[in-house]
Chains A and B, each alone.
Chain A
Amino acid sequence: MNIFRFLGDMSHILSFLLLLHKIVGGKSAAGISLRTAEMYAIVFCTRYIDLLWNFASLYNYLLKLLFIGASLTIVYFMRYGPSQKATYNADEDAFPVQYLIAPCAVLGVLINQDHSSPFEMVWAFSIYLEAVAILPQLFLLQKQGEVENLTSHYVFALGAYRALYLLNWMFRFMTEPDYQQRIVWLSGLVQTALYCDFFYHYYQSKKGGLNKSVKLP
């Protein structure tokens, strides 16, 4: 464990707290993509299936349970919460996710760390899917132009988590002999690259004060 990975995990937890605060606390799903939320639930339920047999550490175990629980809670409220459904914009949240899930599934089967292990295929699928899971959310924000304050912090924290993981991988690559995780490195790079445009507008809007809303062209 190094500071970059710890901060990355904390940023990930923060993104969940912000989203739960908005959806469950604020009873509003305005500007939030259910498609992204559902893809993240798929990502965690597939990647963390090794909860059943892998106890790398209590820290990992607890956070895996937290991420699965939080992502399923978000999907549940967005699908069945009366006020959340009323504020969720289904026709704007229209990104064709089948064009994301299918290629990731094919890639997961073809490119993974052990072609004889179904878990490795599922694990690789979840890594690839996470890299693109944010696209419906960014697509929705682009469509709406203006990003509500809490939503902008949620997306920022979610983007920052994988950016911090990139620093974590660089640190581990430099300090641990023969450490390499090409699948997660490349996917993490793609994932973080997708946020660059948002990061730029987030920074532009927040340098005038944290409560300014983010405007996307």
Chain B
Amino acid sequence: EEEEEEKDEL
């Protein structure tokens, strides 16, 4: 399970 990455890209 990958830790949450912020979604700052399109």
> Is the pair A5, B9 in contact by a Cβ cutoff of 8 Å?
yes
Contacts of B9 in A (CB 8 A): 5, 60, 165, 168, 184
Within 8 A of B (CB), among A87-141: 112-115, 123
> Is the pair A64, B4 in contact by a Cβ cutoff of 8 Å?
no
> Is the pair A9, B4 in contact by a Cβ cutoff of 8 Å?
no
State which of A15-23, A145-153, A175-183 sits at the interface with chain B. Answer: A175-183
Whole-angstrom CA separation of A34 from B5 in the bound complex:
33
Interface size class of A (residues with CB under 8 A): 20 to 34
How many A-B pairs have beta carbons closer than 8 Å: the answer is 33
> Is the pair A56, B2 in contact by a Cβ cutoff of 8 Å?
no
> Is the pair B7, A183 in contact by a Cβ cutoff of 8 Å?
no
> Is the pair A56, B1 in contact by a Cβ cutoff of 8 Å?
no
> Is the pair B1, A60 in contact by a Cβ cutoff of 8 Å?
no
Whole-angstrom CA separation of A188 from B4 in the bound complex:
19
List the B residue with the shortest CB-CB distance to A5: B9
List the B residue with the shortest CB-CB distance to A172: B9
> Is the pair B3, A9 in contact by a Cβ cutoff of 8 Å?
no
> Is the pair B2, A183 in contact by a Cβ cutoff of 8 Å?
yes
Shortest beta-carbon distance, B5 to chain A, in Å? 6
> Is the pair A64, B10 in contact by a Cβ cutoff of 8 Å?
yes
Which A residues are closer than 8 A to B by beta carbons? Answer: 5, 9, 12, 50, 54, 56-57, 60, 63-64, 67, 112-115, 123, 165, 168, 179-184
